[in-house]
Structure 1
Amino acid sequence: MISANEYFNGQVKSLGYKSETGNSTVGVMEAGEYEFGTSTHETMIVVEGEMAVKLPGETEWSTYKAGSSYQIEANQKFQVKVANQTAYLCQYK
Structure 2
Amino acid sequence: MKQFNNVTVLLEGNSYFDGAVTSRTVMFEDGSRKTLGFMLPGEYEFGTDAAELMEIVSGELDVKLPGADEWQTIKSAESFNVPANSKFQVSVKVVTDYCCSYL
Aligned equivalent of 1:10: 19
5+ residue gaps in structure 2? Answer: 1-8
Distance 1:70 1:83 in 2: 16
TM (norm. structure 1) is 0.95
Say what the alpha-carbon RMSD is for the aligned residues: 1.1
5+ residue gaps in structure 1? Answer: none
Does 2:70 correspond to 1:60? yes
The higher radius of gyration belongs to 2
Shift of the alpha carbon at 1:84? 1.1
Which structure would you say has the larger RCO, counting Cα contacts within 8 Å and 6 or more residues apart?
Answer: 1
Distance 1:47 1:32 in 2: 18
Distance 1:81 1:87 in 2: 14
The residue correspondences of 1:1-93 to structure 2 (distance < 5 A) are 1-2=9-10, 3-20=12-29, 22-93=32-103
SS of the residue aligned with 2:69? coil
SS of the residue aligned with 1:85? strand
